[in-house]
Structures are given as C-alpha cells and as structure tokens.
Amino acid sequence: MKKIAILNGPNLNRLGKREPDVYGDETLADLEAMLRADVANQEVELIFFQSNHEGALIDKIAELDDSNVDGLIFNPGAFTHTSVALHDALKSASLTNIEVHISNIYQREEFRQHSLTAPASLGVISGLGFNGYRLALRHLLAMS
C-alpha cells in the first residue's frame, strides 16, 4: 500500500473563510474529502497534517521520512517565502515532494513570487486551486 502525506502550512486551516476571492470557499476538510474520494478504490493511505507552526511542520517532515512515506504533497503557505528551515528539512529528507499552491504565487505580491522551498521539491504546482493537489497526488501515485 502506498502512503502519501499532504501537509498544509499556516492559515490553510482558514480555507473557506480566508480571502475566498483568492482561495475559494472550500475548506481544508473539503480538500481532504475530495482527495480521499479520489483514491477510494486504490491501495493508498493518505496522511493529512496542518500546522501554523514552522517547527511542527519540520518535525512532521522528519517523522514522515522515518516512517517510509512514499510521497509528500506540501503547501507551505507563507513559509514558502521565508523558511530556510523548511527548505533544509525537505532537502535532508528522502521524501519525493511536490510543492502545491492554491493561488498562482507569480500573480500575487512581489514578495510571494519567490519560493525558498521549491528547490527542495520535485516540482511545483501553482494556481490550479484544489486541482493542484489532485495532480500532485496523481503524479506521486504514478511514480514507481
């Protein structure tokens, strides 16, 4: 059975309430339900984790790496643009990681247009809403 982790960073617990014109009106629970439905008939375990705290995300990455997770979908939220520590955690892990952003970070404020975590990722999906998570999941499951 494949194990895929989905990590979400700061303020993503506020989806559905926070800036719906940017992030839509669906919630984090809606995202989890959608992804679970996508793999309902497959031998896949999804592990969800969200934190507003950088250290908790770093600890979770290490925990996932030590537990033989097959892939990681990670939306670091605002830490994307500020966290060398998250970059280092991703770089030191053997996890195949795809960075996902609900909004297109390259159409937003200038400070959001640079990702410190992207160089530690296999790829980045930005601006496709929740479908970005679906595409990342599909790609990770297709990898041998």
Annotated active-site positions, please? Answer: 23, 101
Tokens 């559905």 correspond to what residue? Answer: 16
Q: Which amino acid, residue 5?
A: A
Q: In whole angstroms, how far apart are CA 65 and each of 8, 72, 94, 112? A: 16, 9, 6, 28
Token reading at 124: 């980045």
Residue 66's Cβ-side half-sphere holds a number of Cα atoms within 13 Å equal to: 7
